[in-house]
Chain A
Amino acid sequence: DAGVIQSPRHEVTEMGQEVTLRCKPISGHDYLFWYRQTMMRGLELLIYFNNNVPIDDSGMPEDRFSAKMPNASFSTLKIQPSEPRDSAVYFCASSLLSGLAGTGELFFGEGSRLTVL
């Protein structure tokens, strides 16, 4: 398996522009997570999905952020309009709830580094 695939790896944009980050989870995984990492705040959970349904979006910083998962193999995180303080590395992760024997291991993508000027 190719692992969790994120795109773009790097994005530089200007304040006010729309940003769309994409994620392809590992096939068969039923959970998908979006995290944001900054030096100041560390690794923060933004939102997660179970079977394509958003379960908890309490970590989404504000209405400028939205996330969708139209099918089991694709998710997007959109920021509109973007602001300089949104500059961070955004990670997507997926996992499989495999019952009593599972570890709940999170598989992370390589991240999308966003710079908003």
Chain B
Amino acid sequence: LAKTTQPISMDSYEGQEVNITCSHNNIATNDYITWYQQFPSQGPRFIIQGYKTKVTNEVASLFIPADRKSSTLSLPRVSLSDTAVYYCLVGDNGDTNAGKSTFGDGTTLTVKP
């Protein structure tokens, strides 16, 4: 399974755009890239998933280059409430449902006023 690498922590200020990059050099053809968000004292929550190019929803955008060896989660105009841990997972739907897409350490994003 593809191993992911992401920064341990990031700081930002309210109103800024935040980009969190995840490296997954060994991504397989059938793998999707999925991002989760976890607030303190809560379980992780699905944010976005993509396979290639760009995906956007009401919360975030996900940019995936053609080689798919990395991906960037983009959070527009962050607020204090976006302070959380962000996890990048790689795997196909079967891996996800087999619990094989591991969560790793995630990126702790701290948004300051």
Q: Chain A residues in contact with chain B, CB under 8 A?
A: 4, 31, 33, 42-43, 45, 48, 50, 55-56, 91, 93, 95, 97-99, 102-111, 113
Contact = CB atoms under 8 A, between A and B. Distances in A.
Given A104-B32, A108-B43, 17 more contacts: A33-B99, A43-B103, A45-B99, A48-B98, A91-B43, A93-B43, A97-B97, A104-B91, A104-B95, A104-B96, A105-B34, A105-B46, A105-B96, A106-B46, A110-B42, A111-B41, A111-B42
B45 A55 contact: no
Contacts of A104: 32, 34, 91-97, 101
A75 B32 CA distance: 29
B6 to A, nearest CB: 12
B15 to A, nearest CB: 29
B103 A42 contact: yes
B14 interface: no
Given A42-B104, A45-B102, A103 B34 contact: yes
Interface residues of B, number: 26
A106 B102 contact: no
Contacts of B94: 97, 104
Contacts of A113: 41
Contacts of B42: 108, 110-111
A110 B97 contact: no
A109 B93 CA distance: 20
Contacts of A91: 43-44
A61 B49 CA distance: 31
Interface string B67-86: 00000000000000000000
Nearest to B103: A43
B46 A103 contact: yes
